Amino acid sequence: MAETTIDPTLGPVLARTGDERAVLESFLDFHRGVLLRKLRGLSDADAARRLVPSATTVAGLVKHLTMVERNWFPCLLAPGPGDVYLTTEEEAVASFTVTDEDTVDWIAAGYEQACARSRAVAARFDLDHVVPHPQLGEVSVRWILVHMIEETARHVGHADILRELTDGQTGAI
């Protein structure tokens, strides 16, 4: 039988027989990676370019998801000094804002750092571990992972459309 080669960027395929946590984490990491690939290769100007009526940009999506990573993992599960869970709509909208100082490299590095911290924090807790949430009551680590898959995948879809409008690139790679 011929050996099948699986694209290593398709983490969920590699985890297809893994336990629940491996599957959840691989789907989240897959979407995190796609988001970074949508950002990288763009100029700073293209990453910040508004191509739709809203203020949504590829750079803004990555900045927003950086805030979301920090909010749902460290701030909720293991807050340290200075970690404050953001709850207002204004704070969420502000997280999309791109300034003249924001570069593709700086935004990507911030997102990678936030994701690494999220992974480290989440790894300390069982999927059934429950924490209080300021708006939802209680949430489990399992619920947080599923929510983050949904949130990240939704915004990766937005980034895919914006990247296609910028230079025609589509897909997960």
Q: Is 4 within a domain?
A: no
- The 3-state DSSP class for residue 51 equals coil
- Examine residue 103 and state whether it is found in any structural domain, yes or no: yes
Residue 92 pLDDT greater than 60, yes or no: yes
**Structure tokens of 155?**
């915004």
Domain count, the chain: 1
Grouping H, G, I as helix, E, B as strand and the rest as coil, residue 137 is: strand
pLDDT on residue 6: 56
**Among 147, 144, 114, 100, CA closest to 36:** 114
Give me the chain's average pLDDT, please: 91
Confirm whether 66 is domain-assigned.
yes
Confidence of residue 16 (pLDDT cuts 50, 70, 90): confident
The pLDDT of 124-141, averaged and rounded, is 96
**Residue-range definition of the domain harbouring residue 151:** 11-167
Confidence (pLDDT) at 70: 94
Reported as a single tens digit per residue, the pLDDT across 29-86 is 999 999 999 999 999 999 999 999 998 999 999 999 999 999 999 999 999 888 888 8
pLDDT band with cut points at 50, 70 and 90 for residue 4:
low
pLDDT, one tens digit per residue, over 154-163 is 999 999 999 9
For the chain, count helices (H), then strands (E).
Answer: 8, 2
How long, in residues, is the chain? 173
Output phi, psi for 24, to 5 deg: -60, -50
Average pLDDT over residues 112-134: 97
- Domain assignment present for 135: yes
Question: Measured between alpha carbons, how far is 164 from 157 in angstroms, rounded to an integer?
Answer: 11
Confidence of residue 7 (pLDDT cuts 50, 70, 90): low
What phi and psi values does residue 82 have, to the nearest 5 degrees? 85, -10
Query: What is the CATH number for 128?
Result: 1.20.120.450
**Considering the domain boundaries, does residue 42 fall inside one?**
yes
Q: Which residue type occupies 92?
A: A
- pTM for the whole thing? 0.91
pLDDT at position 167: 95
Asked if the structure places residue 2 within a domain, the reply is no
Q: Quick check: is 1 in a domain?
A: no
Instruction: Round to whole Å and give the CA distance between 58 and 40.
Output: 10
